[in-house]
Structure 1
Amino acid sequence: MSAADLARLQFAATTGIHWLFVILTMGLVPLVAIMHTRAALSRDPATRATWERMTRFWGQMYVVNYAVGIATGLVMEFQFGLSWSGLSKFAGNVFGAPLALETLIAFFAESTFLGMWIFGWGRLRRGVHVALIWLVALTAYASAYWIMVANGFLQHPVGHELRDGVAYLTDFVALLTNDSALIALQHVALAALTTGGVFVAGVSAWHFLRHTGEARLFRASLRLGLWVSTIASFFVVVVGEQQRPVIAATQPMKEAVIRGSGVAELQERLAAEHGPGNYVPWEESVRFSMDAMTLIGNTVSTITLIALVLVWKDRVVRWRPVAWVLVAMIPFPFLASVGGWVVREVGRQPWLVYGELTVEEALSNVSRSSLLVSCAAFITLFLALATTNWTLITRFARKGPDATQLGVTEPLPPPGGGPEPEERQPVATY
């Protein structure tokens, strides 16, 4: 493999793995916020206790995924300087601001609010504590907005002018309102909600299949997960189709590859406009990913709708084959999202900034051997983090609410010394 191929493989693998953390984080946090709000607003002590335990159970898995995902996200920033210094030189004046804002929001504001929420159980007023988890959700989606603004510029560079081969920002509003960013953000947000809803519904169905108890808690979780995933999965298909005209207008080659016609004519036109070269992306990969994403999206939408109907009179949990389907469906939204990422990123090749900067031009002057070492190291590290993350999530999901650590404290030892209690006690309810 060439140096360019290794750099692309490294970035594709690390970004793809990181994205699996992101989509679950974005998908789970609104559901956890809804659960916490429901607990805070309930006047019935039993109902409040159920929804509070739901919040802690699902919130713990969210926190684990967020914490490990942060480690993978840190690496993404460094790769631009490590392997793609040409991008920084060409578009740093435009590209840098959204990335900096995303970093400030994700690694400072969001992390701060989340830390306060984690350690606020039993210590903060009910309204303040609930507001914190909604602020976490808000900053998560604000972070996604800024990263999509940056990515949208790569897909369709707007709001700038070129001076001596360097892009300079001239219209910040155009950058913020880029259709390639805004419609894609809607698609990403709905895909994340679908992922979170399917995850909650699938884990809840598993507990019913295993008769682990907590029927009231997991019945409420199942209903919430199905409602969210049914609505989100329907609209994710609708918004996905709304991207097609934008792609056709801004990246006609990608649309031609997806459609399977007009590729040769566009290759000739692009060669005449930009000089000799291959302007056709990896057709099989793009088309297969598009077909897989579409098929999975429609399948998830159909199954969740059927399961939501079967929630009536608890048929969804009494009919075991349906419950098993919900469990088996947990990976589907992740696979569909990876397919969408491949279409978006691979489909614009050979451009890094569409129509203005190619991948080869953006590549750093790094030796093939150095890239080989860093590629192997990064991929190994990311796979280890992903394995750790899903091992922990699976362990907490299987153990159920009784094993939840979020929202519990170690009691203080009695005055004057003495042995500490052996078991942790839950923090007092509001």
Structure 2
Amino acid sequence: MDALDLARWQFGITTVYHFLFVPVTIGLAFLVAILQTVWLRTGNEAHLRATKFFGTLFLINFAMGVVTGIVQEFQFGMNWSSYSRFVGDVFGAPLAIEALLTFFLESVFLGLWIFGWNRLPRLVHAACIWLVAIGSALSAYAILVANSFMQWPVGFAVRGSRAELTDFGAVFGNKVALATFPHVLLASWLTGGVLMACVAAWHLRRGRNVAVFRMPMRLAMAVTVITGTGMLFTGDNLARIMVQTQPMKMAAAEALYETAQPAPFSLFTIGTLDGSEPIFSIGVPGLLSYLATGSFDGKVEGINNIQAQYQKIYGPGHYVPYIPMAYWAFRLMIGFGMLAVLIALVMLWLTRRDRLPENKWVWTAAIWAVILPFLANSFAWIFTEMGRQPWIVFGQMKTAAGVSPNGIGHVLTSLAAFTLLYGALAVIEVRLLLKYGRQDPPPEQPATEDDGPLAFAY
């Protein structure tokens, strides 16, 4: 390995790790806001106890997400200084808005929510957690705008050796960001729903605090089914935008070397190590054509044809991403996500009319389903970033040109330090979630004016 390989490994590790926390923050914020709203409307103390219980889990994850996000941004200057110099004028705008506006919105109203129990009017206090949820979603959009510029750069002009921002509206209205945002938002709600259902299932399996956890369990499963279904539509739209902006990525997702009309979508393929020749495949005729064009008889460009086109546009070079990774990441992303939806649908049926399944395997499946959305989200980002290669900014800068002129020792040291740091944070996160997730919810008790901040974090 050289410094470029290590820098790519470091970016991949820190990005995927950080995104373990992001969807949970977005998803749990909305779910906690819903729980508190239900309590306000019904006056049922069980819903208040559930709000405080899952609010604690949300705060733990929020804190960890902040720490990992700050660390992640260090590497732009450390390992990707050439990239930062090139796109800093454009890339810095959404990052600045995320830090100065959306994160500020989250932090201020989260503080009011934490310290405002029994101090703020109930409606005002509930509005605070809703603003936190909205702020987390807006924060995600700002980050997606920055990433979408790497996928489909717009609203800029290259002057000298720098890309300078010329159209703020074009950057923030990037069609890739507009298509990606609803998909990521739904994925986040799905992730938060599965996590909430996992914790509720752990308690319900033991017959503990049934009145508190039954409603959150049903709510979380319903959210998972609804958002998973919605992701089929947003994913379909995102696939067509991907064909318009990065046709090579779609071709790589199917390992489609030759242009086809119609083009099948393979559910499972055994082939050569480079993915160039399938040996055995199970596919759905015309499905890739539909994903790419909206027609089951549509034409999908193959890898070889797109490679030839790119060589004419960008000059000699290899413009094909690593096919096996793109192919399997795309399928694992879909497969793990839909499996989580299927489990949620089954649990909704089995828990209808106040029923609680007696079969422990049912509860075990609901509990362990928590890993599925995290796997799906991770493979989604792996596909998104690796499918763009060899570009760090599509059509403008190759990844090899964006790396810092550092020696291998410098990158190896930071990679080891970040990996150890993130490993320690992972242990802390898991232990805290297990500790507070296994505890009973706060007992019913009359509110007093003396309740201190974080009084609900029993």
* TM-score, length of structure 1 as denominator length: 0.91
Instruction: State the Cα distance separating 1:326 from its structure 2 match.
Output: 1.0
Say which of 290, 295, 298 aligns to 2:338. Answer: 298
Say which of 298, 323, 343 aligns to 1:283. Answer: 323
Instruction: State the Cα distance separating 1:320 from its structure 2 match.
Output: 3.2
Match of 1:82 in 2: 78
Write the distance in 2 (CA, Å) between the matches of 1:94 and 1:50: 48
Any idea what the Cα deviations from partners look like across 1:332-391, whole Å, max 9, x if unmatched?
001000011011111001101001011111111111101100011011101211221111
Say which of 120, 125, 132 aligns to 2:121. Answer: 125
State yes or no: 1:112 paired with 2:108: yes
State yes or no: 1:150 paired with 2:146: yes
Match of 2:308 in 1: 268
Instruction: State the Cα distance separating 1:220 from its structure 2 match.
Output: 0.9
Any idea what the Cα deviations from partners look like across 1:157-187, whole Å, max 9, x if unmatched?
0111222232122222211111111111111
Write the distance in 1 (CA, Å) between the matches of 2:363 and 2:175: 39
3-state SS of 1:317 partner: coil
Instruction: State the Cα distance separating 1:141 from its structure 2 match.
Output: 0.4
Match of 2:89 in 1: 93
Match of 1:55 in 2: 51
Q: Is the 8 A contact 1:95 1:153 kept in 2?
A: yes
Write the distance in 2 (CA, Å) between the matches of 1:175 and 1:425: 40
Write the distance in 2 (CA, Å) between the matches of 1:305 and 1:356: 45
3-state SS of 1:382 partner: helix
Instruction: State the Cα distance separating 1:267 from its structure 2 match.
Output: 2.0
Say which of 218, 233, 236 aligns to 1:241. Answer: 236
State yes or no: 1:221 paired with 2:261: no
Instruction: State the Cα distance separating 1:400 from its structure 2 match.
Output: 2.5
Letter in 2 for 1:255: M
Instruction: State the Cα distance separating 1:128 from its structure 2 match.
Output: 1.3
Q: Is the 8 A contact 1:194 1:229 kept in 2?
A: yes
Instruction: State the Cα distance separating 1:90 from its structure 2 match.
Output: 1.2
Write the distance in 2 (CA, Å) between the matches of 1:57 and 1:134: 17
Letter in 1 for 2:242: I
Q: Is the 8 A contact 2:31 2:192 kept in 1?
A: yes
State yes or no: 1:400 paired with 2:446: no
Pair 1:238–1:408, CA change in 2 (3 A): farther
Any idea what the Cα deviations from partners look like across 1:91-134, whole Å, max 9, x if unmatched?
11111110111112354221121111111111111111111101
Instruction: State the Cα distance separating 1:223 from its structure 2 match.
Output: 1.0
Instruction: State the Cα distance separating 1:410 from its structure 2 match.
Output: 7.5
3-state SS of 1:352 partner: strand
Letter in 1 for 2:409: S
Q: Is the 8 A contact 2:118 2:451 kept in 1?
A: no
More helix by share: 1
Give the aligned length: 409
Any idea what the Cα deviations from partners look like across 1:258-282, whole Å, max 9, x if unmatched?
1221222222322232122221111
Q: How does 1:404-423 map to 2 (within 5 A)?
A: none
Say which of 176, 190, 196 aligns to 1:194. Answer: 190
Identity of aligned residues (%): 41
3-state SS of 1:162 partner: strand
Match of 2:390 in 1: 350
Q: Is the 8 A contact 1:237 1:298 kept in 2?
A: no
Write the distance in 2 (CA, Å) between the matches of 1:68 and 1:365: 31
Any idea what the Cα deviations from partners look like across 1:162-218, whole Å, max 9, x if unmatched?
22232122222211111111111111100010011111112111111122x211111
Say which of 288, 310, 316 aligns to 2:350. Answer: 310
Which structure 1 residue ranges, 5 or more long, are not aligned? 413-423
Which structure 2 residue ranges, 5 or more long, are not aligned? 257-301
Pair 1:409–1:67, CA change in 2 (3 A): farther
Match of 2:265 in 1: none
Write the distance in 2 (CA, Å) between the matches of 1:308 and 1:209: 15
Q: Is the 8 A contact 1:18 1:69 kept in 2?
A: yes
Match of 2:6 in 1: 6
Q: How does 1:334-349 map to 2 (within 5 A)?
A: 334-349=374-389
Write the distance in 1 (CA, Å) between the matches of 2:440 and 2:102: 29
Say which of 393, 401, 423 aligns to 1:361. Answer: 401
Any idea what the Cα deviations from partners look like across 1:294-317, whole Å, max 9, x if unmatched?
111222222222222222134453
Match of 2:266 in 1: none
Letter in 2 for 1:134: W
